Amino acid sequence: MRGFICLTSHPKGCEKNVLNQIDYVKSKGSIEGAKKVLVIGASTGFGLASRITSAFGSNAATIGVFFEKAPQEGKTASPGWYNSAAFESQAKKAGLYAKSINGDAFSTEVKNKTIELIKADLGKIDLIIYSLASPVRTHPVTGVTHRSVLKPIGQSFTNKTVDFHTGIVSNITIEPCNEEDIANTVAVMGGEDWEMWMDALVKADVLSENAMTVAYSYIGPQLTEAVYRKGTIGRAKDHLEATAFTISEKLKSIKGKAYVSVNKALVTQASSAIPVIPLYISLLYKTMKAKGLHEGCIEQIQRLFSERLYTKQAIPTDDKGRIRIDDWEMRDDVQAIVAELWTQATTESLPELGDLNGYKSDFLNLFGFGFTGINYLEDVSELVEIEGLQ
């Protein structure tokens, strides 16, 4: 471990993670969803769950785009690599089309390569999931490399946070950003690249009539507002949410539509990097588990597809046009308890008040560790191939 990064990953454990998600989706029955799906950011977190739900819930052909490190002799791949290898071999076994592109989704080259693949193999696609989480983006037109920051706007922010490896709760002060930080964060995590993808797909005429695209956002409680929704990343999410309307306009001729779905706070590689959020998540997990409301990425996305996107009724949205699948997280009774626990949380009390173990185990699971049924003492080869890699 180094900070919030785990430096190795386990091929069999990652496979287990994927198999568990496939089993979950199958156990929930079939969804009359899209049949030809492109997932941008398909290898971990919500994107992987979207690919699994499409393939194993709706028998969809999927193309996955991601940016993962391939294994080298003596060096493990990044977990998304092993996840994708496991996904593709399961898809193939189930007779489902699945191919992947590993490269920078922000680049024109990867967009073109994806379009060529769609044209050659699928013709047209019905659903595009946009689930990128990245700290950096090199702009394809200007060549400028933008780096996102996770900072408050206007004034410094002091609050509690937890180092989830040690369990130590401490105060953290985050200094406010400058204007450039906001612009850079919006450039990386805002909607410009999503719109560029959709423009390219429209221009290439590879979208079916009624095609839909969905990107993921987050709101969260007042507790994390200064660093999340009202901070630099929040500005990027505002931009992403506004972009849905711009894209919908552009899709009118094919009767297509763009949506943003607001998802629940979950342990992923992206969210572990945000100060304050891990403490919030550990208290949230404890509360939601006690109420029988807890969901991971796959439960969230399975519910998004089966109870929001593909119900034969109009897709329900809030007053800002967003799909809400964070409804259970944001319930008043849940938030009231979390806010109360927050005031009480200390290094000593957190193991009792929060679900630190759940956090840690979810974090280890992201890298393929901590799964029962895997013999971690057994030798495994790090050199695993992704069958449908282009």
Catalytic residues: 228
CB of 192 to ligand NAI, least distance (A): 13
Cβ proximity of 37 and 129 under 8 Å: yes
Span of 126-134, 163-171, 244-252, 379-387 interacting with ligand NAI by CB under 6 A: 126-134
CB of 255 to ligand NAI, least distance (A): 26
- Pick 125 or 323: Cβ nearer ligand NAI: 323
Q: Which of 6, 31, 55, 266 binds ligand NAI (CB under 6 A)?
A: 266
Nearest to 115 by CA among 65, 68, 69, 81: 65
Query: Is 50 a residue that touches ligand NAI (CB under 6 A)?
Result: no
Considering only residues 323-382, where is the footprint of ligand NAI by CB under 6 A?
Answer: none
Query: Is 271 a residue that touches ligand NAI (CB under 6 A)?
Result: yes
Q: Which of 34, 85, 226, 265 binds ligand NAI (CB under 6 A)?
A: 265
CB of 378 to ligand NAI, least distance (A): 27
Paired tokens of 254: 């094919």
Span of 65-73, 206-214, 309-317, 342-350 interacting with ligand NAI by CB under 6 A: 65-73
Q: Which residue is nearest to ligand NAI (CB)?
A: 45
Span of 102-110, 118-126, 249-257, 309-317 interacting with ligand NAI by CB under 6 A: 102-110
Q: Which of 20, 134, 246, 248 binds ligand NAI (CB under 6 A)?
A: 134
Looking at residue 338, its amino acid is: V
- Pick 98 or 208: Cβ nearer ligand NAI: 98
Q: How far apart are CA 97 and CA 117, in angstroms?
A: 12
Q: Which of 232, 269, 306, 365 binds ligand NAI (CB under 6 A)?
A: 269
For the four alpha carbons of 343, 347, 348 and 353, in that order, the dihedral sign comes to positive
Q: Which of 133, 162, 186, 334 binds ligand NAI (CB under 6 A)?
A: 133
- Pick 90 or 300: Cβ nearer ligand NAI: 300
Q: How far apart are CA 210 and CA 207, in angstroms?
A: 8
Query: Is 87 a residue that touches ligand NAI (CB under 6 A)?
Result: no
Span of 12-20, 118-126, 269-277, 334-342 interacting with ligand NAI by CB under 6 A: 269-277
Span of 86-94, 268-276, 341-349, 356-364 interacting with ligand NAI by CB under 6 A: 268-276
Determine the size of the site formed for ligand NAI (CB under 6 A).
Answer: 29
CB of 88 to ligand NAI, least distance (A): 14
- Pick 33 or 47: Cβ nearer ligand NAI: 47
Query: Is 213 a residue that touches ligand NAI (CB under 6 A)?
Result: no
Paired tokens of 118: 């769609």
- Pick 122 or 189: Cβ nearer ligand NAI: 189
> Which residues of the shown chain bind ligand NAI in the complex (CB under 6 A)?
41-47, 65-68, 80, 104-106, 131-134, 216-218, 263, 265-266, 268-271
